[in-house]
Structure 1
């Protein structure tokens, strides 16, 4: 369930919902080069470890091609633990809108400022670049602990 305080960002691209969906699921190409595990099927689990962001284990909980992706953080060492991220994809006259929400990441969270900026960079810059140019800007493995 989304609350008004959950961190949300969105953008519009001139690409199909299926192209946006495929890019979201190529997590290593836009989020972090340290991703291990899989993210292609509901129930898949992937992990990451970076100095720049919290590390954790994430389970894919929902995949609706061209419409929606959802993840649940099962194990993290901070307030990300037991939170959910959703990617909602809609097609409109202006193009395809991708709306990302980190449910549970609110201004009351200790990491809100850094985490919301991190998500803005990962989603609005890196994921958008992957969709529009074919090349994302994931957090490099060189910043991993």
Structure 2
């Protein structure tokens, strides 16, 4: 198994605000995709829709201001059964987000694409929290992936 790993630090933002951006549909819609619905509470399922498809994530764990973990229960075959893990910590005036998309079967080209997209969305999260304006789909950075 292989994982996608990223780290981003958000300036002058509390872990509580980052946690809210990861655990509410309005927060998620502000940086990942505007088409976000469902139940973001522990045990719930969140639906994220993008042109041309999407993902459903079951919320496995939430620890306020510290940790969020999802399991992909519907979406592309490469994603189903993988987990998304968010760990938050403070470092002076920064909240550090340690991100892992865990459990990929192998490092296929689609995984490379998704790693790039995750990086753009993490920068969108950073921007939303630092400036009030994110770049969720469909206003995200487009990275072409051939069919």
TM-score (norm 2): 0.82
> SS of the residue aligned with 1:55?
strand
Is the 1:36–1:48 Cα contact (8 Å) retained in structure 2? yes
Instruction: State the 1:105 CA deviation.
Output: 3.7
Query: In the alignment, what sits opposite 1:37?
Result: 38
Q: Does 1:48 align with 2:48?
A: yes
The alignment covers a number of residue pairs equal to 136
Q: Which runs of 4+ in 1 moved over 3 A?
A: none
| Whole-Å separation in 2 of the counterparts to 1:64 and 1:58 | 17
Query: In the alignment, what sits opposite 1:7?
Result: 4
> SS of the residue aligned with 1:74?
strand
The alignment yields a C-alpha RMSD, in angstroms, of 2.2
| Whole-Å separation in 2 of the counterparts to 1:91 and 1:117 | 25
Is the 1:71–1:85 Cα contact (8 Å) retained in structure 2? yes
TM-score (norm 1): 0.83
Query: Gaps spanning 5+ residues in structure 1: where?
Result: none
> SS of the residue aligned with 2:107?
coil
> SS of the residue aligned with 2:136?
coil
Instruction: State the 1:94 CA deviation.
Output: 5.6
